[in-house]
Amino acid sequence: MKKMIAVLLLMPLALFAVDNNDALEDPELQERYETITRELRCLVCQNTPISDSNAPLAEDLRNQVREMLLAGSSNREIYSYMTDRYGDFVLYKPPFVKRTLLLWLAPGILLLLGGTVLVRTVRQRAAMPIDDDDENEEEIE
Amino acid sequence: MSRFLAPILILVVLVGFFFIGLHKNPNIVPSPLIGKPAPQYELPLLLKPGETLGTEKLLGQVYLLNVWGTWCFACRAEHGVLMEIARQNIVPIYGFNSRDDPQKARQWLADLGDPYVASMVDTDGLVGIDWGVYGAPETFLIDQTGIVIHKLIAPMTMRIWHEDFLPLIQQLKAARP
């Protein structure tokens, strides 16, 4: 009985094994294969990488990645093969180009902006006399 | 009052971004092929398996390439529209039968009518990858020199045909009769 429960509990895990391909013989290639298929978006079900998607297209693209790896292609060659056909959108990590400048720089700009406001506010507050006649502060105290 | 100005400004900008974002369809991925030569390929024909067609052989004419399959629900919906476009006889439509059972595909054309001058068969979907096909139906517009001019990733409708495709086709034909 206990064994059966254990088996039943493990069953959902088996569902995640989408990729039916045998592992590549060369462990280094297999590692690259896993990295690349995790970095490529499946266009049919857009929020999954092709490594986790059972859409027929994802399967085809996984096979393509394997074949290219076995043929000696570099990671860069494989990524550009994909973007030549499907556009930058297939990459989970968008390239740093003019069109994506705002996307890449926005976090830094916002941090800088927020930091500046924070520093200024803190300095202003520090410069204020302690006996401020702000009603709210009195209430809290 | 001025202390509220900055937050309100930021809010307005953000709302602007979100508003535009809301009206974009994330399922439509722009094709990097637009403005570039169509991929080179040659595939057997559905109805004449001994013959082949491909980019090279289709040069010299403006044509539509329509990706379809019997497994594709929306293809059935657009089929009548393709029939109508074929009747207008303005541009030839070539079919690109993707990942399909040829037997079923032939039956489909026999049942619903055949709007295609010819349908090419891409059983394993490999040529489809070169075209960046990720769903069906998809319709490409290719010019006389084999350049991909436009791509529709949705079922064709008469409205899309009149508004998006016809003006482009007329332009292409006027430039190179």
What the block records as the tokens of A53 is 């998607």
Closest CB to B129 among A46, A60, A87: A60
Residue at token pair 């740093």: A96
Q: Are residues A89 and A109 in the same domain?
A: no
Give A138 or B134, the one with higher predicted confidence.
B134
User: What pLDDT score was predicted for residue A141?
Assistant: 47
Q: Is A67 on the interface with B (CB under 8 A)?
A: no
Predicted pLDDT of residue A16:
56
When the pLDDT of each residue in chain A is averaged and rounded to a whole number, the result is 83
Closest CB from B99, B124, B129 relative to A85: B129
* Residues of B whose CB is below 8 A from A56: 99, 125
Overall domain count for chain B: 1
Amino acid B144: pLDDT = 93
Is the pLDDT reported for residue A18 higher than 80? no
On whether both A121 and A109 belong to a single domain, the answer is yes
Chain A stretch 47-66, residues whose beta carbon is closer than 8 A to a beta carbon of chain B: 56-57, 60-61, 64
Q: Are B137 and B63 in contact (CB under 8 A)?
A: no
Tokens of B143: 């010019």
Is residue B3 situated within a structural domain? no
What is the pLDDT at residue A133? 55
Do A88 and A101 lie in one domain? The reply is: no
Structural domain containing residue B71: 34-175
Cross-chain CB nearest to B31 (options A46, A61, A87): A87
3-state secondary structure of B64: strand
Share above pLDDT 70 across residues of chain A, in percent, rounded to a whole number: 85
Mean pLDDT value of segment A81-96: 89
Residues A107 and A77 in one domain: no
Helix H or strand E segment including A55 = none
**Domain membership flag for residue B4:** no
**Per-residue pLDDT at B22:** 86
Q: Answer whether residue B93 is part of any domain.
A: yes
Give me the domain span that covers residue A15: 1-95
Distance CA B138, CA A80 (A): 23
The distance from CA A84 to its chain's CA centroid, rounded to whole angstroms, is: 21
Question: Which of B32, B125, B129 is the closest to A87 by Cβ?
Answer: B32
Q: How far apart are CA B54 and CA B39, in angstroms?
A: 9
How far is C-alpha A10 from the chain's CA centre?
Answer: 27
Going by pLDDT thresholds of 50, 70 and 90, the confidence category of residue A132 is: low
Q: How many domains would you assign to chain A?
A: 2
Q: Chain A residue with minimal CA distance to B136?
A: A44
Q: Between residues A138 and B11, which one has the greater pLDDT? A: B11
CATH of the domain at B40: 3.40.30.10
CB contact under 8 A, B32 and A43: no
Instruction: Give me the CATH number covering residue A59.
Output: 1.10.8.640
Residues A79 and A133 in one domain: no
Determine the distance in angstroms separating the CA of B30 from the nearest CA of chain A, rounded to an integer: 7
In a domain, B95, yes or no: yes
B12 occurs within a structural domain: no
Of B27 and A99, which is predicted with more confidence? A99
Assign B76 to helix, strand or coil: helix
Mutate to test the interface with B, among A83, A86, A113, A118 (most CBs of B within 10 A): A86
Residue where the block lists tokens 């069906």:
B136
Residues A24 and A91 in one domain: yes
Per-residue model confidence as pLDDT tens for chain B (177 residues): 677 888 899 899 999 989 988 888 777 777 889 999 999 999 999 999 889 999 999 999 999 999 999 999 899 999 999 999 999 999 999 999 999 999 999 999 999 999 999 999 999 888 999 999 988 899 999 999 999 999 999 999 999 999 999 999 999 999 876
Q: Is the domain of A101 the same as that of A89?
A: no
Q: Are residues A106 and A62 in the same domain?
A: no
Same-domain pairing of A78 and A135:
no
Other beta carbons within 10 Å of B61: 14
- Looking at residue A17, its pLDDT comes to 59
In a domain, B148, yes or no: yes
pLDDT at A13: 58
**Mean pLDDT confidence for A25-36:** 89
Q: Is the pLDDT at A15 greater than 70, yes or no?
A: no
Q: Is A113 found in the same domain as A81?
A: no
What pLDDT does A134 receive? 54
Full 3-state SS string of B136-170: CCEEEEECCCCEEEEEECCCCCHHHHHHHHHHHHH
Q: What is the pLDDT of residue A98?
A: 85
Taking CA atoms, what residue in A is nearest to B135?
Answer: A44
Per-residue pLDDT, A32: 92
* Claim to verify: residue A102 and residue A136 sit in the same structural domain: yes
Distance CA B132, CA A58 (A): 12
What separation in angstroms does the CA of A65 have from each of B20, B27, B99, B122?
35, 23, 19, 20
Phi then psi dihedrals of residue B159, to 5 deg: -65, -50
Is residue B26 less than 8 Å (CB to CB) from chain A? Answer: yes
DSSP state of A41: B
Angle (deg, nearest 10), helices A75-86 and A56-70: 140
Query: Do residue B130 and residue A89 have CB atoms under 8 angstroms apart?
Result: no
Bridge partners for B97 per DSSP: B68, B121
Q: Are residues A69 and A115 in the same domain?
A: no
Give first-to-last CA distance, chain A, whole Å.
63
How far does A33 lie from chain B, in Å, by closest CA?
19
Please check whether residue B55 lies inside any domain of the structure: yes
Q: pLDDT, tens digit, for every residue of A40-75?
A: 988 887 788 888 888 888 988 999 999 999 999 999
Q: Find the CB nearest B29 among A57, A61, A86.
A: A86
Task: Say whether A44 and B129 touch across the interface (CB within 8 A).
Answer: no
Distance CA A19, CA A23 (A): 10
Q: Is B172 in contact with B144 (CB distance < 8 Å)?
A: yes
